[in-house]
Amino acid sequence: GAVVSQHPSRVICKSGTSVKIECRSLDFQATTMFWYRQFPKQSLMLMATSNEGSKATYEQGVEKDKFLINHASLTLSTLTVTSAHPEDSSFYICSASRPGGGGEKLFFGSGTQLSVL
């Protein structure tokens, strides 16, 4: 089946540094990928929609200059948390949509736990 790979699975960084998270679709081309954030004991919150070859679409309240999204190829989207602060500590999850088939399904990465000290 379709697989989405997310890397790294866990990252610890100092406040003020930037962190890049990669999301790859391994066996299909994904023109659209989605980025979510999840705080402990809460549901997933959609941050942005990443479109290959164009600018990402951010949800209301998500700072586009803070969370930089690049979708340079049909199999790779990256999320960069710039100048990270402790309040950015969260579980970040990507998903990719496989087009076609009997009803599209979204496939999710395994998530990245970001801890900002």
3-state DSSP assignment of residue 86: helix
**Residue number, 13 or 45, with CB nearest to other proteins:** 45
**Residue number, 17 or 105, with CB nearest to other proteins:** 105
Signed CA dihedral, 35, 59, 14, 82: sign only = positive
**Residue number, 14 or 61, with CB nearest to other proteins:** 61
Residues that bind other proteins (CB under 8 A): 4, 6, 31-32, 34, 36, 43-46, 49, 51, 91, 93, 95, 97-100, 103-111, 113
Label the pairing between strands 105-108 and 45-51.
unpaired
Q: How many CB atoms lie within 10 A of CB 86?
A: 9
- Phi, psi at residue 110, to the nearest 5°? -85, -5
**Residue number, 16 or 26, with CB nearest to other proteins:** 26
Least distance in Å: CB of 100 to other proteins? Answer: 8
Least distance in Å: CB of 89 to other proteins? Answer: 14
Least distance in Å: CB of 15 to other proteins? Answer: 23
Least distance in Å: CB of 59 to other proteins? Answer: 9
- C-alpha 41, offset from chain centre: 19
* Cross-strand bridge partners of residue 50: 33
